[in-house]
């Protein structure tokens, strides 16, 4: 089996307490690699290296333009190694190779985008209201960043944190999930090849007790960028009370997709399929609450059923496969339990609802659930799997109310050919992203993030780079006269 070490302070290291873990190939259900786990001592070493890098002239005195050139170099390396990294991610997580390779190739554009912004971070000279004072601001790196990423879409989610942080001049400890961490650790080789000074980026993984908790509560962490589930996020927020680190959270979702009776049915069906079965449903923005105008409900169900009749569930490395395995067996158990509860509530399974025969325990067929009430379990629980639920509505007001009837607020979709309705409805949905007549589109230029329990803060877009900075104000007395006596009032 392959073995992956920790990357700390520019060096490849064995975990200091000797703890290792295995990672599973979901397509086979068998172990395929092992990796070293970080201990508290390893976390401390990574943070110390990052703090030291901020004071090292090799990074501290590097011009913003030079930082941008390093990021351009990293972008080129990511693009060149997209196939290699993608195949590792597919083996480790079960996601389709065509998706992991394509997504990794596109991730290079995130590094290029922030490379271009690196020398666009500008301070200002202030028109101060006091004579003989020259006052200006500088935009400074916030400091040491803990970037915590989950196993799904990890190359993308790492880039949305690492790229702006490095462009701003920060030092980063990238904590990969202990579930399927191999591509993140392999990615560290590109950091090394790109020529970043030692300590600027470390890549570690490990369990909560020995790695995640010591990292997020470490007194020298200045900024936490976290993507994951709400329960873990609550612990992260509590940990940040120990160091007052600025924290952003990109959490779960239960996104609504509203389809009105004037929508193009083919387009709407494709949007629902992409939003639910893309990445085998393992996406925070999965559009798992399909809200369909009653006059077209039956027609849309028929269209979706027809389009899904020949979907291939199988080997994620095979280009003919449409859905691969789920990353963990726990997801399959959660799907089954949620489906049982929904059926007990009166929901009907139109297709799917079971595991394919002759596959590992990680597989589950694409499933369509027809619901009569918004209280149906599949409309409430984030299952992180290929399950689509449809619920009819009768009016625009009802559709908006149903869309907002959720603890989450990350993504949403609207399918309509009425441009006035598109603007009207999209503005009323409480979510960080709304796609109209499309779904799951992304760009480094467009910020994303959530409302409610989908978290706070935004990633991507030009403003995100400022989240990794602090403003410093400098006052200079330009008068030739000595400073006045502070106890003599004029």
Give how far Cα 441 sits from Cα of 93, 130, 350, 463, Å: 22, 50, 28, 19
Give the chain as a 3 state SS string. Answer: CEEECEEECCEEECCCCCCEEEEEECCCCEEEEEEECCCHHHHHHHHHHHHHHHHCHHHHCCCHHHHHHHHHHHHHHHHHCHHHHHHHHHHHHCCCHHHHHHHHHHHHHHHHHHHHHHHHCCCEEECCCCCCEEEEEEEEECCEEEEECCCCCHHHHHHHHHHHHHHCCCEEEEEECCCCCHHHHHHHHHHHHHCCCCCCEEEEECCHHHHHHHHHCCCCCCEEEEECCHHHHHHHHHHHCCCCCEEEEECCCCCEEEECCCCCHHHHHHHHHHHHHHHHHCCCCCCCEEEEEHHHHHHHHHHHHHHHCCCCECCCCCCCCCECCCCCHHHHHHHHHHHHHHHHCCCEEEECCCCCCCCCCCCCCCEEEECCCCCCHHHCCCCCCCEEEEEEECCHHHHHHHHCCCCCCCCCEEECCCHHHHHHHHHHCCCCCCEECCCCCCCCCCCECCCHHHEECCECCHHHHHHHEEEEEEEEECCCCCCCCCCCCC
Other CB atoms within 10 Å distance of the CB of residue 6: 27
* Candidate list 186, 250, 377, 382, residue with the active-site label: 250
**Interatomic CA distance for residues 74 and 195, integer angstroms:** 9
Residue with tokens 């409430």: 380
| Residue 485 CA neighbour count, 13 Å, CB half | 4
* CB 349, CB 368: distance < 8 Å: yes
318: tokens are 């095979």
What distance in Å separates the CA atoms of residue 433 and residue 187, rounded to the nearest whole number? 29
Q: Residue 271: name the closest of 412, 427, 410 by CA.
A: 412
Using CA atoms, how far residue 88 sits from 97, 147, 238, in Å, is 9, 21, 34
Any catalytic annotation for residue 99? Answer: no
Give the catalytic positions in this structure. Answer: 250
């Amino acid at each position: 089996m392959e073995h992956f070490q920790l990357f700390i302070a520019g060096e490849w290291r064995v975990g200091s307490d000797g703890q290792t873990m295995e990672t599973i190939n979901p397509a086979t259900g068998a172990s395929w690699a092992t990796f070293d786990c970080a201990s508290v001592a390893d976390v401390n070493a990574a943070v110390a290296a990052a703090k030291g890098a901020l004071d090292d002239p090799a990074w501290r005195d590097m011009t913003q333009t030079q930082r941008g050139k390093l990021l351009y170099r990293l972008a080129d390396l990511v693009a060149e190694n997209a196939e290699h990294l993608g195949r590792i991610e597919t083996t480790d997580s079960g996601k389709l190779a065509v998706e992991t390779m394509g997504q990794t190739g596109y991730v290079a554009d995130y590094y290029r985008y922030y490379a271009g912004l690196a020398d666009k971070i500008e301070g200002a000279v202030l028109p101060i209201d006091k004579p003989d004072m020259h006052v200006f601001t500088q935009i400074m790196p916030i400091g040491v960043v803990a970037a915590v990423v989950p196993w799904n879409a990890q190359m993308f989610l790492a880039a949305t944190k690492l790229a702006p942080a490095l462009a701003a001049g920060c030092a980063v400890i990238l904590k990969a999930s202990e579930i399927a961490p191999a591509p993140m650790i392999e990615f560290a080789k590109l950091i090394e090849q790109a020529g970043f000074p030692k300590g600027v980026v470390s890549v570690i993984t490990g369990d909560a007790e020995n790695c995640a908790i010591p990292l997020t509560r470490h007194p020298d962490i200045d900024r936490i960028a976290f993507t994951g589930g709400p329960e873990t996020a609550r612990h992260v927020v509590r940990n940040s009370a120990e160091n007052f680190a600025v924290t952003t959270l990109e959490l779960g979702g239960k996104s609504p997709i509203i389809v009105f009776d004037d929508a193009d049915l083919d387009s709407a069906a494709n949007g629902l399929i992409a939003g639910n079965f893309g990445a085998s449903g393992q996406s925070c923005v999965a559009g798992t609450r399909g809200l369909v105008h009653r006059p077209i409900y039956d027609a849309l169900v028929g269209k979706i059923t027809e389009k899904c009749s020949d979907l291939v569930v199988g080997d994620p490395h095979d280009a003919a496969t449409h859905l691969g395995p789920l990353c963990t067996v726990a997801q399959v158990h959660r799907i089954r339990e949620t489906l049982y509860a929904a059926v007990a509530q009166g929901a009907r399974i139109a297709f799917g609802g079971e595991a394919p025969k002759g596959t590992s325990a990680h597989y589950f067929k694409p499933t369509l659930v027809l619901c009569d009430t918004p209280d149906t379990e599949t409309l409430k629980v984030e299952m992180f799997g290929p399950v689509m639920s449809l619920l009819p509505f009768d009016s625009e007001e009802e559709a908006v109310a149903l869309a907002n009837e959720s603890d989450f607020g990350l993504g949403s979709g609207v399918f309509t050919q009425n441009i006035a309705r598109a603007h009207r409805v999209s503005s009323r949905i409480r979510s960080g992203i709304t796609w109209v007549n499309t779904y799951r589109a992304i760009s480094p230029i467009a910020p994303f993030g959530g409302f409610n329990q989908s978290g706070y803060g935004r990633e991507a877009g030009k403003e995100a780079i400022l989240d990794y900075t602090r403003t410093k104000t400098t006052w200079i007395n330009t008068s030739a006269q000595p400073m006045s006596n502070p106890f003599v009032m004029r």
